[in-house]
Chains A and B, each alone.
Chain A
Amino acid sequence: MLYKIPLLLVLLFICNSWAAASSSGMTLEERVNETTLDNGLKVVVVERHSAPVLFALITFRVGSCHESLDRSGLSHFLEHMLGKGTKSIGTSNYKAEARIMARMEEAAREIRARQTALTNWRYDAFDAYTVKVKADLPLEAREQIGADEAIGLREVLTRLPDDIQELPEEWRKSEWMLADRKHNYWQMFKEIIALRVEMAELLERQKQYITESEPLDAIYDPRGAAMHNAFTTWDQTSYMVGLPANCLELYMFLESDRYKNPVFREFYAEREVIMEEMRLGENNPDEVLSDIFFAAAFDAHPYGRPIIGWRSDVGNTLRGDMEEHFRRYYAPNNCQITIIGAVDTKRVFALTRKYFSDWKPAEIAYEVTVREPEQRGEKRITVELDAEPQLYIGWHIPAAPDPDYYALEMMSNILSMGATSRFYRSIFTEKQLTAGSPYAYTGPGDRYSNLFIVDATPRAPHTVEEVETATYAEIDRLKTELVSAREMERIRNRMRAWELGRMRSNQWLAFSLSSSFAVRGDWRATIDHNRRMMAVTPEDIQRAANKYFTKTNRTVAYSVKKETPAVESESPEKK
């Protein structure tokens, strides 16, 4: 039996009655409760009693944009350190730990001073030499070292010659390599290894006082926590956790302690963890390209720097630098707590006062003042990677609440939201130039003037250039033709569905309310954002397209496959 519905009938059937869609009949504005403590801490609550859980987010208005030039990565690094416990949690003897940590800090400072004196090229050469020394240790020694760093380093140290005559000939021949009139560089390098041995031993000593190395997880997880995590962007740093609703007071206790009395224990081990996180990114071709793309697009603004920072900056970061960054930005008057779920608002407010009132406010003098200078011509960057090609195009645009921003946001939806979008239809399905629909969005942050970005993956044999041309053709259409009423209404319907959909998700709602605070200082920005998006007209889009989508204002970055000769890898045990 066939079951046919005439297409026209289906289309006629469709009309939307959004107003009736929310059963509570209350708008978001009516459902949000908020208070501000005397110290400036904002508390935002939405009650949702459909399940006995809550989702909580603590957001600070500090991200990688708020770092000085040679200390990139501090905000993200700090995010890692705020799970390491406090003066009373995670330790059996904080005072004893503090003494050990003070000596570690001195040793780290001494290492940094020596590394600086050695300069990178010399240090790298010496370091590669020690890796080789270690790899060449006899099997017996390798097995004895196993995974113990202190033993390994000590073993290596005994094998680094004192007499420079035993070092490679090309080093001895080079006048500047091992020593000059002021410094004995080789000696200095050996001191670094000795200091590292000392740091490994100090850490071992400190560990006898550490009762839990990630104590928040140790306490939350057995209580049934979910989604316990944190993230850093260019604009903000946020700490999240989902908990059974009976843990509300425990949450207040632990989180207030976390920001009032943190201890950055195991700092130097964590620095290595972050270097590993960074290497993961360095081996991900797409991340490499996007980092280079942003760096090329922004001459002055910190949106051009990777959130995780540059490797050499992070490698040189001391605990002292972090403490300074923490004092500067982690204050109640720079923070919002957002709690959504099966809670009683009055009780949340009372508990917040109970636990957070004695948190001291600070003067937050940090607004990024640098403005990206006007671009003087198209920038084009090519990157060679061990991967198939990828393309980024970006145009400088203003951030919210500039009226043009909303027209551009709307435009990004029209270009790439869903299978009915223009990019999907023309570039992906008709011309078949890409592996999927190119994606248009604004970024990398939201707080300061940013970029309108198109990200595309060419499909062989089509080239980056063909994709670029097709992209510009779609952009040019926006300059000359008005967007149809149906396309506009489709995006507006999607936005209405989003507004509705987030009312049934604690997490989604919390992210909306906290990122609005992060970007514009007030959760209400999300309401303002949606209202303004709804009001965008086709004429607004056309005007914005003509204003911002110029060749002069554009940065294009793409990767090409690096040509590498096939490597014959040696397998000594095979014949």
Chain B
Amino acid sequence: MKNVKLIYIFALVVLILAPNVEAKKPKRYQDVPIPTLDWKLPQHQEYRLPNGIEGLLVEDHEVAMVDFYFKFNAPPDPSDKVGLGEITAWALRQGGSVNIPGDSLNDIIEFTASGVYIWTDDEAISIWGNCLSEHLPTILSLVRELIDLPAYPQAKIDLKRGTMLEEIRRKNDQPQWVASREFYKLMYPNHPWGWETSENSLSTISRDDLLTYHNLVFRADGCVIGFSGDLTLDRALELSRQTFGHLTQSEEEIAGLPSLPPPPAPGVHYGHKEVNQAYIYIGHRSIRYDDPRRIASEIMNYILGGGGFQSILMKRIRVDAGLTYAVGSRFTTPVEGEGVFRAGASTRLDQSGRTLELLRKTIIEYAANGPMLEEFNKARDAFVNSYVWEYDSSIKILGRLVYLKWRHLPLDTPQLDLAAYQKLTRDDVKRAAQELLHPDDMLIVVVGDKSKMDRPLEDFGAVQEINLSQP
């Protein structure tokens, strides 16, 4: 850390001594000097507990506060108990421990102005928290209480179930959510990535299910812990031992994500809502993280629809045509399986045919030709120069390091990616567009009122109806 500070001071001295700022104003923005950004990566430290738990520390004493992030492997919800992970995480945190009931736990956490958050996804259960550094031992002892002696009171389980039922009741209130959700359901049928909770799945979840889940996931193997902020390595080690040192390795298998179903057939899916816009999503499956074209795909999508106002979709459909407020695309590359390419826009009904046409046409052209050289250069510069934002906060660094370690990915992934961006050429991106976009193979999801559209939806393919009546 000391070195880092010295570098900044040095950089500042250079800035101050360098060209006199009162000098004449440049005529064009291209003539404004941009000095080299001279900085050194902040360092982190790694450690390992005797039970195999991996630890990470990003020391930063700017303010006497600490953030922590712990990750344990976890299974996806069983297909007949969708919502199990979410209920478990909530009931664990709000239910407290056998010794410290939820209300007392909340009182301690909130009186000390701390935070402890627990959530799950299909592969992990995660705990994030923050507090004044002086309260860290107390807050960590609470975390240990939750792991060792969880209470899971039935009342809290039922309360969470009740709020989730209310969410189901409200799930079709916002047309944009509906379109997005239906897109994923169609893209991943009978797979956790396309599931949603239902009255049925929630009703089968019992306290025993939660306990089984709990006893399976909180163990040493696969666990990664990390701290950032105002603490030293010695203190991090000591507190880690006190909190997690007693956890043991386990033989019991944690189920992984099931393999993906085959991609859906292309076609038009329509959900009827009496609203004055059409909510459009179109796309198809993408690639996995380990695909060698991942880096090229990121820049490919940035230019098409991921790069905000600079993207082709934004310029053509919003800025130049005034057809929409929100338009863009994503191209995801998950570690565990093929992600999605998805472009979308919302637009007034009597322009929605025109918008869908333009969306499709733009993708077709881009898939054929790739980006122009200038577009590519700007995009690559944006990726290379935004690299500093990977390191602008210790909390952000902590989040990334713990994730990468938990995933068994290289901790220097940002540097590796940076080097790859620097090497990339326009041809790589053009090839990525040609290979990775399949405009003839797209799923089209439209939520709105097709009777008021400027073109029959059938112009875009045979239409299948999505039933949006309440379950």
Instruction: Flag whether A119 is at the interface (Cβ < 8 A).
Output: no
The complex places the Cα of A573 from the Cα of B346 at a distance, in Å, of 25
With most chain B CB atoms within 10 A of its CB, the pick from A146, A275, A285, A388 is A388
Please provide the chain B residues from 37 to 78 with a CB less than 8 Å away from any CB of chain A in the complex.
37-39, 42, 60-65
Further contacts, 5 of them, CB under 8 A, given A2-B149, A572-B456: A3-B246, A22-B63, A52-B38, A253-B25, A283-B174
Partner of B348 from A2, A274, A279, A504 at Cβ < 8 Å: A279
A-B contact pairs, 22 of them (CB 8 A): A23-B61, A50-B60, A149-B354, A152-B354, A207-B320, A221-B382, A224-B387, A246-B34, A249-B32, A249-B33, A269-B322, A273-B325, A275-B348, A276-B324, A276-B325, A276-B348, A282-B275, A283-B174, A388-B173, A418-B106, A420-B111, A572-B456
Partner of B16 from A16, A250, A347, A496 at Cβ < 8 Å: A347
Residues from chain B with Cβ under 8 Å of A207 in the complex: 320
Partner of B162 from A131, A432, A489, A500 at Cβ < 8 Å: A432
Residues from chain A with Cβ under 8 Å of B112 in the complex: 14, 16, 493
Residues from chain B with Cβ under 8 Å of A24 in the complex: 62
Instruction: Flag whether A198 is at the interface (Cβ < 8 A).
Output: no
Whether the Cβ atoms of B25 and A355 lie closer than 8 Å is yes
Whether the Cβ atoms of B277 and A280 lie closer than 8 Å is yes
Residues from chain A with Cβ under 8 Å of B134 in the complex: 16-17
A388/B21 contact (C-beta < 8 A), A3-B148, A7-B100, A221-B310 known: no
Which residues of B are at the interface with A, using a C-beta cutoff of 8 A?
5, 8-9, 11-12, 15-16, 21-22, 25-26, 28-29, 32-39, 42, 60-65, 94, 99-100, 103-104, 106-108, 110-113, 132, 134-135, 138, 141-142, 144-145, 148-149, 159, 162-163, 166-167, 169-170, 173-176, 230, 246, 270, 272-277, 307-310, 314-315, 318-326, 346-348, 350, 353-355, 357-358, 361, 377-379, 381-382, 384-389, 391-394, 450-456, 458-459, 462-463, 465, 469
A272/B272 contact (C-beta < 8 A), A3-B246, A7-B100, A355-B25 known: no
Whether the Cβ atoms of A223 and B34 lie closer than 8 Å is yes
Partner of B346 from A10, A219, A280, A350 at Cβ < 8 Å: A280
Residues from chain B with Cβ under 8 Å of A494 in the complex: 110, 113
Whether the Cβ atoms of A221 and B99 lie closer than 8 Å is no
Residue-wise interface mask of A (499-510) relative to B, using a CB-CB cutoff of 8 A (1 in contact, 0 not): 011011110000
Q: What are the 8 A-B residue pairs with the smallest beta carbon separation, nearest first?
A: A224-B385, A272-B322, A497-B113, A269-B322, A222-B381, A147-B358, A387-B173, A277-B325
The complex places the Cα of A135 from the Cα of B353 at a distance, in Å, of 9
A214/B310 contact (C-beta < 8 A), A249-B33, A285-B174 known: yes
Whether the Cβ atoms of A276 and B277 lie closer than 8 Å is yes
The complex places the Cα of A436 from the Cα of B159 at a distance, in Å, of 10
Residues from chain A with Cβ under 8 Å of B25 in the complex: 253, 354-355
CB distance from B160 to the nearest CB of A (A): 11
Whether the Cβ atoms of A354 and B465 lie closer than 8 Å is no
CB distance from B161 to the nearest CB of A (A): 11
Residues from chain A with Cβ under 8 Å of B104 in the complex: 7
Instruction: Flag whether A122 is at the interface (Cβ < 8 A).
Output: no
Whether the Cβ atoms of A250 and B29 lie closer than 8 Å is yes
The complex places the Cα of A221 from the Cα of B32 at a distance, in Å, of 16
Chain B: CB-nearest residue to A226: B389
With most chain A CB atoms within 10 A of its CB, the pick from B11, B64, B309 is B309
Whether the Cβ atoms of A213 and B319 lie closer than 8 Å is yes
Partner of A250 from B34, B107, B142 at Cβ < 8 Å: B34
CB distance from B371 to the nearest CB of A (A): 13
Whether the Cβ atoms of B319 and A146 lie closer than 8 Å is no
Chain B: CB-nearest residue to A51: B392
With most chain B CB atoms within 10 A of its CB, the pick from A20, A217, A489 is A217
CB distance from A357 to the nearest CB of B (A): 10
Whether the Cβ atoms of A283 and B148 lie closer than 8 Å is no
CB distance from B25 to the nearest CB of A (A): 6
With most chain A CB atoms within 10 A of its CB, the pick from B107, B111, B459 is B111
Instruction: Flag whether A376 is at the interface (Cβ < 8 A).
Output: no
